[in-house]
Amino acid sequence: MTYFLSLNEALEYLKVSKATLYKLTSNREIKFYKPNGGKIYFKVEDLENWISSGEKLCKHAVFQESLDFKSRKNGE
């Protein structure tokens, strides 16, 4: 089942201001739905994907990626 959140519910879910969420929708940085040109709704899954898109690697993972890159570059 797909769960939709209203604008206010999405604000609370993301812990962002209304201005920030409007900016994200205006810039098409986050998916939203506006049936019949009315209220804005968000799928929980889309909000989770947006949050995940900002993932930052821990130091160990960055170090491992650099080792992997060097290995590929040197043909090992």
Q: What is the CATH number of domain 4-73?
A: 1.10.1660
The predicted structure's pLDDT at residue 61: 72
Low-confidence ranges of the chain (pLDDT < 50): none
- 44, with CB counted inside 10 A (0-12, 13-18, 19+), is middle
CA distance 31 to 42: 7
Residue 62's pLDDT is 73
Tokens at residue 15, please? Answer: 């812990």
- Domain boundaries along the sequence of the chain: 4-73
Entry pTM: 0.69
